[in-house]
Amino acid sequence: MAQIRILEAARFLGVSDDTVRRWIDGGVLGSTKDAAGKSVVDSLELATLAHRNAVLPGDPSDIGRSARNRFVGIVTDVLQDTVMAQVEVQCGPHRVVSLMSSEAVRDLGLEKGSIAIAVVKATTVIIETPAGKA
């Protein structure tokens, strides 16, 4: 499994490198040394910790649906003309942008500061890896 340096692990988890070091010292996360003598963590262990610690706001709609990719967030921008609109929603650390009709924006009452749920149902999801990591 890949080894990830502390600073990079902190970026993936959205915490400081000091927090990652405290987790290592506290036994929450294991670490070893790489060939350069730098502390590294196992990528699988890091992924498990990230998944376990993920905290997303609950979906307030209480609607069942087949789409599993639902992101609750706050509308941070609405750009619209007479026909089309671009709505930006900040869902935790993720920025989700949707293109829709201006009529839909009006019907939903979307404006900066609105709570919104971005529902993504896609037949194609593209996964990329950093250069040289494949």
Task: Quick: pLDDT tens for 84-113.
Answer: 999 999 887 788 899 999 999 999 999 998
Which ranges of the chain have pLDDT less than 70? 1, 54-61, 64-67, 131-134
| CA separation for the pair 100, 60 (Å, rounded) | 22
The pLDDT of residue 132 is 61
The pLDDT of residue 59 is 64
Angle at 93 between CA 91 and CA 94, to 5 degrees: 55
Do 56 and 71 meet the contact criterion of CB atoms below 8 Å apart? yes
The pLDDT of residue 107 is 95
Q: What are the DSSP calls for 27-56, one per residue?
A: TSS--EE-TTS-EEEEHHHHHHHHHHH---
The pLDDT of residue 56 is 61
The pLDDT of residue 65 is 67
The pLDDT of residue 9 is 86
The pLDDT of residue 55 is 65
